[in-house]
Amino acid sequence: MAARKSFALRIDSKTYAAMQRWAKDDLRSLNAQIEYVLRDALRKSGRLNGPEEMAPDGLSEPDRKI
């Protein structure tokens, strides 16, 4: 598995609240939801280099909720 990086993310309060609600609806942490949305956008735009970079649901193994 690839090493994970951490960084600060600054977003407006309305976006934060909407992402938090979406994460709750999908039973994910806010961090996992943001990663899911980013990976999905990257996949749709053709910017991910292959299936090995992403699990079928867009999450790496440690982020999966069962």
- The answer to whether 35 and 63 have CB atoms below 8 angstroms apart is yes
Q: For the chain, which residues make up each domain, given as ranges?
A: 15-47+54-63
**14-48 residue pLDDT tens:** 999 999 999 999 999 999 999 999 999 999 999 98
- The answer to whether 63 and 32 have CB atoms below 8 angstroms apart is yes
Tell me, what amino acid is at 35?
A: E
The pLDDT of residue 22: 98
For range 61-65, the mean pLDDT: 51
The pLDDT of residue 59: 55
The pLDDT of residue 46: 93
Half-sphere exposure of 21 (CA within 13 A, CB side): 5
- The answer to whether 32 and 59 have CB atoms below 8 angstroms apart is yes
Instruction: Indicate the pTM of the whole model.
Output: 0.68
